[in-house]
Amino acid sequence: MLLRYIVGNFKSIGHPVEFSMLPTEKSEDDRFLKTIKTKFGDWKVLCRGGFFGPNASGKTSFIESVEFARDYIINGQKSGKGTGISIFKGDIEEFGGSSVFQFMFYLQGEVYEYGFSLDRQKVNEEWLMQLTKKDFVPLFTRATDEKEKTSIEITSEFARNKSKDRELSEVLKNSIQENQKNQLFLYKLYENGVKKAEKIVEWFKRIQVIFPETKIQALPIRMNADEELRTYIGTMLHKMDTGVYEISVTKDEIDFHEFAEKLDLPKEMIEEIEEIKNGIVSFAGKYFIFAEKKKKTVLVQLKFTHRLNHKPVQFNIDEESDGTQRLLDLLPMLFTIGKASSIYFIDEIDRSLHTKLSQFLLDEFIDTNADGFNQIIFTAHDVNLINLHSFCQEEIWLVEKNASGESQLKPLSNFEIKEGQNALKAYLSGRFGAVPLLRRDNSCR
């Protein structure tokens, strides 16, 4: 489970901002909390967090920062390349062009803190810490001095002296040469099979990031292979009053060139497909499976059954509403809860959805997660979701820019809201900030 995340100097985020899934001491509503056992005692942890604020306030930048850090950790970086970081464009000299990413998380009964800082060319700092009964202790630390010399210290808490993992770690730390300074030490350890590093990186792999344009890869293929998933999504779409009451999958062998001509496929896509020996290509919601050995092309499509004039009628995915298509991106998340613990970051969860559907998804997440340790962190523009009947104050975060154009975060728990007070009305009145400031004149000052 994610406990805390800090990011600084990334896109619209200038000075570091901190997001926490640890509630305040006054939080007592167990509907939204999980208890974890740590060496420091039992801790309460939130399962949801929602970001609200004006357009261009930095909500998406926050989600993108998580995606950047996760991808950098689990995929590594090619030697000799830049880091690809997008820094805050405001000139803040104290940053020195360096961005920071820091995670505190719970994994298999232990609390870890992992973080790193980097500029456009290299990793400057990196550290992995573990919580003991007294405090966090380092497992390894990395620093770059003024002469750009990298030094890494590995402790016995990470791997015992003379153990296989320790000896391998010592070899790897010496391999961070000039053309490898853009690489994370954690990734090098993971890539070479060091057990503790494998465990940490696997936690980061559980972070799932979904943007409005994100599509579940090969969903028709998955639904064809998994009848339980297909039935679940069909049932949920019916339950959410989309008009769909059943989903089926069709597979047809086709002559590709005739089909391409009929659909007027782009020339570039035709050339790409012709070069593929075995694989999957998606176009307009349709999936083409190519198997060279069988010398055939199979078109796999989802079919959505509605009842029109009391008769079943099938629709293709591109004929469904934007809202139904958005639900197809989100419902597999609910299906997998209970099968594996994951952390979902969803940008604009309310995109193309009615308020009641967005709230239903978030309530269903809590209900489905009753026995699990999944978390969901989302952004939304639908302020009707700001209600203290379905959320506690610590779950709601407000995002706005300061006078320097930097995105800032603050939890709603920073404000006193009396019992029975309308939180949405107070928010829209501007009491908590993070609302658009509409100008009535043409001034750009």
pLDDT digits (tens, 9 = 90+) for 83-117: 999 999 998 888 888 999 999 999 999 999 999 99
pLDDT digits (tens, 9 = 90+) for 201-256: 999 999 999 999 887 667 888 888 899 999 999 999 999 999 999 999 888 777 76
- Mean pLDDT over 180-203 rounds to 94
pLDDT band at 288 (very low <50, low <70, confident <90, very high): low
pLDDT band at 58 (very low <50, low <70, confident <90, very high): very high
Q: Residue 441's pLDDT is what?
A: 66
Which residue has better confidence, 55 or 80? 55
Q: Residue 293's pLDDT is what?
A: 46
Q: Are 203 and 174 in contact (CB under 8 A)?
A: no
pLDDT band at 26 (very low <50, low <70, confident <90, very high): confident
Q: Residue 260's pLDDT is what?
A: 73
* CA–CA separation, 326 and 214 (whole Å): 9
0.75 exceeded by the pTM? yes
Q: Residue 375's pLDDT is what?
A: 97
CATH topology of domain 1-206+341-445: Rossmann fold (3.40.50)
Average pLDDT along the chain: 89
**Which residues, 6 or more positions from 280, have their beta carbon under 8 angstroms from its beta carbon?**
218, 221, 287, 288, 289, 290
- Mean pLDDT over 135-151 rounds to 92
Is residue 27 over pLDDT 80? Answer: no
- Give 10's DSSP letter: B
pLDDT band at 371 (very low <50, low <70, confident <90, very high): confident
Virtual torsion, Cα 193, 195, 197, 198, nearest 10 deg: 70
Long-range contacts of the stretch 36-39 (C-beta < 8 A, 24+):
36/1, 36/106, 36/373, 37/109, 38/106, 38/109, 38/110, 38/111, 38/131, 39/110, 39/111, 39/131, 39/132, 39/133
Transcribe 245-278 into DSSP letters.
-EEEEEEEEE-HHHHHHHHT--HHHHHHHHH-SE
Q: Residue 285's pLDDT is what?
A: 57
**Which residues, 6 or more positions from 74, have their beta carbon under 8 angstroms from its beta carbon?**
187, 201, 204, 205
pLDDT digits (tens, 9 = 90+) for 372-397: 899 999 999 999 999 999 999 999 99
Is residue 292 over pLDDT 70? Answer: no
Which stretches within 322-441 are classed as H helix?
A: 322-336, 355-368, 423-428
Is residue 348 over pLDDT 70? Answer: yes
Is residue 273 over pLDDT 90? Answer: no
Is residue 263 over pLDDT 90? Answer: no
List Cα–Cα distances, 240 to 307, 333, 349, in angstroms: 15, 16, 15
pLDDT band at 281 (very low <50, low <70, confident <90, very high): low
Q: Where in the chain is the domain with CATH 3.40.50?
A: 1-206+341-445
Which residue has better confidence, 267 or 416? 416
